[in-house]
Amino acid sequence: MAEPRISSIDGKLAEEFAVPSHVEEVKEKMAAFAAHHAAAGRQVVLITSGGTKVPLESRTVRFLDNFSSGRRGASSAEYFIESGYAVIFLHRHRSLYPYTRMFSTMNMLDALKFRSGEGASSNCEVVVNQQVLPNIAKVLKRYQEVKESRLLLPIEFNTLSEYLHLLKAAAQALSTIGSKAMFYLAAAVSDFYIPASEMPEHKIQSSNGPLQLSMNMVPKILSPLVKDWAPQAFVISFKLETDATILLDKARRALDTYRHQAVVANVLDSRRGYVVVVTPETQDELLLTEEDEKNEVEIECRIVSNLTSAHKVFISQQAG
Ligand code: 9Z3
């Protein structure tokens, strides 16, 4: 068998981004998860979700963050599971999580009450107030079913370094199942970082005056992912802009550069109701109408439906 190619990005990753101590253990877990579900006839999707954190000091007090609530990734995970996929959910610690996302804005104590007739004694029974959480039973049921059938493997990251190394490990772990693997890269990833060798150890002192930062460019991880780490997989990246006039051009440019299968293009302010799925041959606008919004339809349902259909075609083309 041919040796896997070593790209210059591999070297940079090893030298300038601290390797998380548990990366090999996580890689084995992901490989076993993928092999198990592929053998059972399921496709496996790796979803990245949430924003990366870039430390400014090695004993970190300050850091730069990328905006992402994690809602896109968390809700997409649920729709992929409903479509028959097993999901590896590589997400920022404490960003939104599948199923529990529905209750993220709630104060837990507002949703609980004492069983009627009982007061606050040490052995009293506490129950959920179903008026506050009318759909809790339905969500809990689905959450428990998914947990029992082990369809969701959660992996956490905090920093950009953890994200990059864990994504590489995931790509290598999923390469064993070829075209059955999908990458759905919805995380908001920093373009800039301070290399370990240039990072001050201690807290930057304001007594030294205004802070000027010089940051390096983060290596374009999509390139080795598509070419070297998981060359048979179906790969989707996301493109986020705040200026709608440059969005599609940037999405097309990403497709031309990395030669992956699709880009989901979105603008920050309208991301909940409008995205464009761009492929080399097509451009599908997905839009929620007022009627959809009234019925609480989520755009991730449309995105996942579009991409799972395209993945099916991709798998059959690879097989033929
Ligand atoms: C996205 O564009 C996601 O759709 C959002 C979802 C982060 C906007 P939320 O988590 O938001 O539901 O609040 N993700 C990709 C963002 C990104 O950093 N893309 C880079 C770029 O556009 C390429 S990896 O250059």
Residue whose Cα lies nearest atom 21 of ligand 1: it is: 239
Residue 21, φ and ψ in degrees, nearest 5? -65, -25
* Nearest one of 23, 81, 71 to 238, comparing CA atoms: 71
Q: Say yes or no: CB of residue 104 within 6 Å of ligand 1.
A: no
Q: How many Å lie between the centroid of ligand 1 and the Cα of residue 270?
A: 12
Q: How many CB atoms lie within 10 A of CB 275?
A: 27
Q: φ and ψ at 192, to 5 degrees?
A: -130, 150
pLDDT 10s digits, 36-90: 999 999 999 999 999 999 999 999 999 999 999 999 999 999 999 999 999 999 9
Q: Measured from the CB, is residue 263 less than 6 Å from ligand 1?
A: no
Distance from Cα 52 to the centre of ligand 1, integer Å: 11
> Between the CA atoms of 6, 54, 91 and 7, what dihedral angle is there, to the nearest 10 degrees?
-10
Question: Looking at ligand 1, which atom is closest to the CA of residue 190?
Answer: 18
Give the chain's mean pLDDT.
Answer: 95
Which ligand 1 atom sits closest to the C-alpha of 239?
22
> Is 68's C-beta closer than 6 angstroms to any atom of ligand 1?
yes
Mean pLDDT of 83-100: 98
pTM of the model: 0.96
Number of other CB atoms surrounding residue 69 within 10 Å: 16
Per-residue pLDDT at 1: 46
The CA-CA-CA angle for residues 105, 111, 114, to 5°, reads 160
Q: pLDDT tens across 141-187, in order?
A: 999 999 999 999 999 999 999 999 999 999 999 999 999 999 999 99
The string of pLDDT tens digits covering residues 107-145 is: 999 999 988 766 666 678 899 998 889 899 999 999 999
Index of the ligand 1 atom closest to the CA of residue 188: 18
Question: Collapsing DSSP states into helix, strand and coil, what is residue 287?
Answer: strand
Percent of the chain with pLDDT over 90: 88
Average pLDDT over residues 290-318: 97
Q: DSSP letters along 168-180, please?
A: HHHHHHHGGGGGG
Looking at the CA of residue 189, tell me the nearest atom of ligand 1.
18
Residue closest by Cα to atom 11 of ligand 1: 68
Report which ligand 1 atom has the smallest distance to the Cα of 272: 12
Note the pLDDT tens digit of each residue in 201-212.
Answer: 999 999 999 999
CB 174 within 8 A of CB 181: yes
Ligand 1: which residue has its CA nearest to atom 16? 188
Contact by Cβ (8 Å): 175, 33 = no
Going by C-alpha positions, the residue among 179, 260, 278, 264 that lies closest to residue 221 is 260
Ligand 1 atom 25, closest CA? 239
Q: For the chain, how many helices (H) and strands (E)?
A: 9, 14
Q: What is the pLDDT of residue 75?
A: 98
224 lines ligand 1 (CB under 6 A): no
Q: Which domains does the chain have, with CATH numbers?
A: 10-99+148-203+213-319 (3.40.50.10300)
Determine whether the shortest distance from the Cβ of 240 to ligand 1 is under 6 A.
Answer: yes
Please choose from 240, 270, 272, 299 the residue to mutate so as to test ligand 1's pocket, defined by most ligand atoms within 8 A of CB.
240
Confidence category of residue 5, pLDDT binned at 50, 70, 90: low
